[in-house]
Structure 1
Amino acid sequence: MAGQISVRAAVASDVEVILEMIKELALYENEPDKVLATQESLQNTLGLKEGSKCYAKTLLLYEGDKPAGMALYFNSYSTWRAKPGIYLEDLFVKPQFRGKGYGTTLLATLAKEVLEIDGARLEWSVLKCMLPAGRMMQEAAEIEIDGIGNEPSIKFYEGIGATNLAKEWQQMRVDGNALKDLAKRGAFGDGK
């Protein structure tokens, strides 16, 4: 039987829990070596340190006194609707807590926040493929795997009414050296 659950905004003392879940998510996505975040960098960018800027926010879900999940998100904007929104960067529920509705609880909390700011939408991306480490974590948590894709996550999101935009939109990213190169191309100022 599940213990009492609570959802709250992260505070400075939560930074270790946040980093732990980021690392677990990276392992799930078979990218554990890609995590460069540190407790200090999270404190400085999540507004968890006195005088630091807040570029993103984190909701933490606890079952009793155990951290079970998190939603890390930031504000977005719809130009066509001239309204704010929320972009969910990471949603993670620890494998041993899955299947209890905790992911839905975190998403519902974010949906409520979008409505409170008279926002246009809540958006996020989901991996199409389940990577090997993710499969191992599912097996360890005795969660059924359906096929080679990431069907469990996709079905979960579709089940709450999410629309798959993959047919209409292609997600793009510029980072690393490509980001530095782009900043130098035709930018006003010194391009640094």
Structure 2
Amino acid sequence: MTLAIRPARPSDAALIHRFVTELAAFEREPDAVEATPESFTEALFASPPAAEAVIAEVEGEPVGFALWFHNFSTWKGKRGLYLEDLYVTPSARGKGVGRALLIHLAGIAAGRGCARFEWSVLDWNQPAIDFYRAMGAVGMDEWTIQRVEGDALARLAALK
């Protein structure tokens, strides 16, 4: 099996959109994706880009992707790499693709001097949690994600 990981190209926008849609279905949110291939093109290939992505290929066929961006740790005084999405198609799971993507991103984070490499995982996805722990990840059990979006974001922004 020949596995390769390459930077995403503008022509991959529809593929990335497809992978995100498949991931949303897996995460029990099949109708939640509002992004479009055009919005991925704009986000990933603007100057500067809002995020970056790589495509995993087996025998030249796309089987997964990872999309990330940089955040910043005030405590460390350095940027970090935040993995927004990692997806491997069902037919390619168990073949080392996810492992290769994580290792690839860890290399990017280390090469860019990042203090951290972080991501979130759904608490019901025990196979993923077990996989991440086996790769050296540590759960941040004392932290919870907080989110404001949509109408709530507009209301918060309008407060004076």
TM-score by length of 1: 0.80
Question: Once the two structures are aligned, what percentage of the paired residues are identical?
Answer: 43
2:138 to 160, 163, 169: 163
User: What's 1:76 paired with?
Assistant: 71
Kindly provide the amino acid, as one letter, of the partner of residue 151 in structure 1: Q
Q: Distance in 1 between matches of 2:28 and 2:115?
A: 33
Once the 2 structures are TM-superposed, how far is the Cα of residue 100 of structure 1 from its aligned partner? 1.1
1:178 is the counterpart of 2:152: yes
Q: Distance in 2 between matches of 1:183 and 1:52?
A: 26
Q: Distance in 1 between matches of 2:138 and 2:48?
A: 32
Kindly provide the amino acid, as one letter, of the partner of residue 81 in structure 1: K
Q: Distance in 1 between matches of 2:44 and 2:118?
A: 19
Once the 2 structures are TM-superposed, how far is the Cα of residue 54 of structure 1 from its aligned partner? 1.1
Runs of 4+ deviating beyond 3 Å: none
User: What's 1:103 paired with?
Assistant: 98
Give the total of aligned pairs.
160
User: What's 1:22 paired with?
Assistant: 20
For structure 2, the 5+ residue unaligned runs are none
After TM superposition, the structure 1 = structure 2 runs for residues 1-192 of structure 1, keeping only pairs within 5 Å, are: 3-47=1-45, 53-129=48-124, 150-166=125-141, 168-186=142-160
* Residue deviations 1:54-75 (CA, integer Å, cap 9, x gap): 1011111000121111111000
Q: Distance in 1 between matches of 2:80 and 2:104?
A: 13
Instruction: Give RMSD over aligned pairs.
Output: 1.1
Q: Distance in 1 between matches of 2:66 and 2:56?
A: 8
Asked whether the 8 Å contact 1:43–1:52 carries over to 2, the reply is: no
* Residue deviations 1:91-116 (CA, integer Å, cap 9, x gap): 11111101111111111111111111
Kindly provide the amino acid, as one letter, of the partner of residue 83 in structure 2: L
